[in-house]
Structure 1
Amino acid sequence: MTAKTILAAVAALLVATGTVAANEWKFDLENRSTANVTSFRTQENGAWSDNWLDEIIVPGDTFEMDFGTDEGNCTVRTRIDFTDGTYVDADIDYCNMSTITVRNKDVIWK
């Protein structure tokens, strides 16, 4: 799955869930953990999406993401998996952030 395909799927998901402020759907995903990030998924109606990433994000790297829309529900349950079998998840407010930082035991956004 290519990044373009992933972002198109995300855009469709966000359009289906409501309306938000414009120009808020681009962000950086920073890996500040000690393990590689292998997947980035959102939850809708109790089910996790397919993995949006088409590459592994190594510790210290940043991956630029663009949902390709300014429509959708601001708060989306998000899960990020690591190569060591652990994961972090949170209800992320995509309308009020520009960076998601993944750490070993949590995820923060600003």
Structure 2
Amino acid sequence: MRHVTAAALLFATSAFATAPTLASDYAFKLHNRSNGWTISGFYTYQDGEWSSNWLNGKVEAGEAVRMDWNSNEGNCVVPFRVRWVDYGAEDFKLDWCKGVSNIYMKDKGFTWD
């Protein structure tokens, strides 16, 4: 079974070109499917603490950004936190080893495929 590690998460938007050689089994897209809320942060929890913000900017409603663990080592279940402008943050858990391609953040909760 493959595993992912929060320490290896890399962020890339369409403004940044990524080489095909950096492709990963754990690349995914973070979608903001809320009704007008802006995502201002994405954090992961490992070794007893939250990471620094993985996002380099904000994700407006209707937008999506590409993200990549760029690793298959570590725990499969890595909690993540999403921070919203003018709202606060929410914590979630997801088994990343189940082939996550997209995370859809909604007004309440999230879905994935």
Kindly state the Cα deviation for residue 71 of structure 1 after the two structures are TM-superposed: 2.0
How many pairs were matched up? 92
More helix by share: 1
2:87 corresponds to = 85
Instruction: Name which of 92, 97, 103 aligns with 1:100.
Output: 103
Kindly state the Cα deviation for residue 86 of structure 1 after the two structures are TM-superposed: 2.8
* Correspondence 1:1-110 to 2 at 5 A: 10-11=7-8, 23-33=24-34, 34-96=36-98, 97-110=100-113
Of all paired residues, the percent bearing the same amino acid is 35
Gaps of 5+ in 1: 1-8, 13-22
Gaps of 5+ in 2: 1-5, 10-23
Kindly state the Cα deviation for residue 48 of structure 1 after the two structures are TM-superposed: 0.9
Kindly state the Cα deviation for residue 73 of structure 1 after the two structures are TM-superposed: 1.2
Change over 3 Å in CA distance of 1:54–1:40 after alignment to 2 = same
Change over 3 Å in CA distance of 1:10–1:45 after alignment to 2 = closer
Kindly state the Cα deviation for residue 29 of structure 1 after the two structures are TM-superposed: 0.2
Taking structure 1 as the reference length, the TM-score comes to 0.75
Kindly state the Cα deviation for residue 66 of structure 1 after the two structures are TM-superposed: 1.2
Moved over 2 A (4+): 85-88
**CA distance in 1: counterparts of 2:25 and 2:95, whole angstroms:** 10
**CA distance in 2: counterparts of 1:24 and 1:89, whole angstroms:** 24
Taking structure 2 as the reference length, the TM-score comes to 0.73
